[in-house]
Amino acid sequence: MSRNVMSGRGKSAPDGAASASRKRIATHFLLAALAFVATATGGTVQLPPQVQQALTSIDSVPTPGQLDTVFTTHAQALTQLSTIALDGGTDIGIRLRAIHALTKYCTPPCADTDTAHQALTQLITANRTQPIGAELVMLRGAIEAIGPQRVPGDVTILTGLLDHPSRDIRAATAHALRDLCNISAINPLRVRAENETTEQVKLAINEALRILGQPTPCQ
C-alpha cells in the first residue's frame, strides 16, 4: 500500500490527464486509510449501510450510476454527497470519496451555480488557509475535483493557491488549472514557475503549461 502512495506523488502522468486524476484519487483514499481509523457512522450525517459500503471501499471508485442507486435517486445522491463532503465530523475517507464523486455530478463546462460545484468552492474557501491536518487533505481533494468541472471563473479561485505553503496543494492546483483548460491561467503559472523550488510542483506546472499552450488546449 505504501509503495502505491509513494509512486503516485510528484510525477506527471505518462498516460494523460485522466490517468493522473485516477492515480491522485487512489492516493487520497490510501492515505486516508493509513492515517485515520474509519468511523463511518460519525459526524452529523447518518449513513445507511449501503452508502457506507459505497463510500469506504479503497480498491474501486463508485460510478455516478452506482451512487444514484445507493442514494435512491440522482437528486438525493447529489444532495447527500454535498452534505457529506462539507461535514467536518464525518470520516475523512468517506468525505474524500464524496468530494471526488461530485466532479461528475454536473456536465462540463459546469455552471458556477451547480450544486456539485458550489460544494467544492465552499470547501476550498473554508480550508484554503489550512497549513496541516485533515482539512488540508479536504482542500487538496476539492482542488483536484473542481478542475475537471471546467467552470471558467474558477481560474481566480485556483491561481490564488499557487502560493500555498503546502507543496502538495501547489501541485494539485497546477493539475487543476491544467484540467480547467482556461488559458488565463498561463501567466500565473509562469510566475509561479519562476519562483518554485520543489521538483514535484515544477513538474505539475510544466505539464499544465504544456497542455494550455497547445493551439487547441484539452481537445
Grid coordinates given for 159: 491561481
Complete domains list, the chain, with CATH: 2-212 (1.25.10)
Q: pLDDT tens, 83-122?
A: 999 999 999 999 999 999 999 999 999 999 999 999 999 9
What average pLDDT score do residues 150-165 get? 96
Q: Which residue has the higher pLDDT, 36 or 140?
A: 140
Determine the Cα–Cα distance for residues 100 and 155; give it in Å rounded to an integer: 19
Residue 166 contacts residue 197 (beta carbons within 8 Å): no
Lowest mean pLDDT among 19-28, 58-67, 144-153: 19-28
| pLDDT for the residue 217 | 78
Grid coordinates given for 110: 459546469
Q: Chain-centre distance of CA 54, in angstroms?
A: 18
Of 91, 92, 71, 69, nearest to 81 (Cα)?
A: 71
- Judged against a pLDDT cut of 70, whether residue 21 lies above it is answered with no
Name the average pLDDT for the chain. 84
Residue 138 contacts residue 111 (beta carbons within 8 Å): no
| pLDDT for the residue 62 | 86
Confidence tier at 3 by pLDDT (50, 70, 90)? very low
Determine the Cα–Cα distance for residues 98 and 55; give it in Å rounded to an integer: 7
Phi-psi region of 10 (alpha: psi -120 to 50; beta: other; left: phi over 0): left
Q: How far is the CA of 19 from the CAs of 14, 22, 26, 80, 101, in angstroms?
A: 8, 5, 11, 27, 16
pLDDT-above-90 percentage for the chain? 66
